[in-house]
Copies of this chain bind each other. A is one copy, B any other.
Amino acid sequence: MATIQDVAKAAGVSAMTVSNVMNGHPNVRPATRERVLEAMDRLGYRVNVAARNLRKGRTGTIGLAVPEINRPYYGRLAAAIIAAAGRHGLRVSIEQTGASRESELAALSQSRNRLYDGLILSTVGMGPADVGALDVDHPVVILGERIFGGPVDHVAMPNEAAAEAATRHLVERGCRRIAVVCGRLGGEADVSSLRYAGYLRALAAAGLPADPELVVTAASLTMQEAARGVRERTARGLGFDGVFCVTDTVAMGVLRALADAGIRVPEQVKVVGFDNVDESAYLVPSLTTVDPDHDLMAERAVALLAARIDRGGPGREEFAGPFRLVVRESTGG
């Protein structure tokens, strides 16, 4: 494999000049540039990224830590982040945390390993008690939730407001006993708790009581758990006429369980999801859901991280994306 020295020799210049040509520096005479380019081409020269990284103290790669890439929401997010990173000249290395607190903390310390220039972390397992772990000296952006007081940048979903709007939509469509399907409620600033809070707010605003009977738990927010939870609930009789699901994935499990029980959507029960993953428009019935503008959030997250990489120092910026409700068949079109 040809090195910069080989090219320099072949072109009759110094390595420095070759470097300057490569990096588009000014002050290279056109004729020289030509000779160098020709030599590079002839030798099939490729820059050695490891050497460049060592010299520059950068790797050109950022890490993206998500619970599992194989879930529609994280897939959607990853796609947007890879695209956004590409626009910033960065590559993306993906790590799966399995939504466990330990793996999320491990991802944070990996980033200290200087594997990546920075890390975008989707926290699910970590809680406020782990804020201290965020105090690392490398660029980190938390994506998804708000961990109050953390010394890092955040790109947050409009969790509460959007959950409230989604639930209000059910109220407006005539629902009076609205169930919610969410993960474990620790009272912390995780997806489930924040969206649950929005759900409660909408109920209160509508003067509806909050019945603990209507809270269905799907601990790790999988289709399977959601379906099981709803089956258990309907086995005791249909005690609700609307369901707010904290994610679209959960909603898919819910729709399936309702179909199993022979309950018609939206006639008997109306369902709302959250995320607007690609599949939600194609489900039968198609799913009414919250669209949080993934592309914008991804772009902001990468932009924040890139800025932090360039400028250094800790950040505390917060960005909460916009959202809109996409009304489809599951709430009556």
Contact = CB atoms under 8 A, between A and B. Distances in A.
B115 A91 contact: yes
Q: State how many copies of this chain the complex holds.
A: 2
Contacts of A54: 48, 50-51, 53-54
Contact of A82 (B53, B95, B114): B95
A127 interface: no
A82 B59 contact: no
Contacts of A255: 282, 284
B114 A94 contact: no
Given A72-B72, A115-B91, A227 B282 contact: yes
Counting contact residues on chain A (CB < 8 A from B), the size range is 35 or more
A70 interface: yes
Nearest to A59: B50
Contact of A96 (B74, B79, B282, B284): B79
Interface of A: 1, 46-51, 53-54, 57, 59, 61, 68-72, 74-76, 78-80, 82-83, 91-96, 112-115, 223, 227, 252-253, 255-256, 259, 278-279, 281-284, 286
Given A68-B79, A69-B79, A72-B279, 4 more contacts: A46-B114, A54-B54, A70-B78, A79-B96
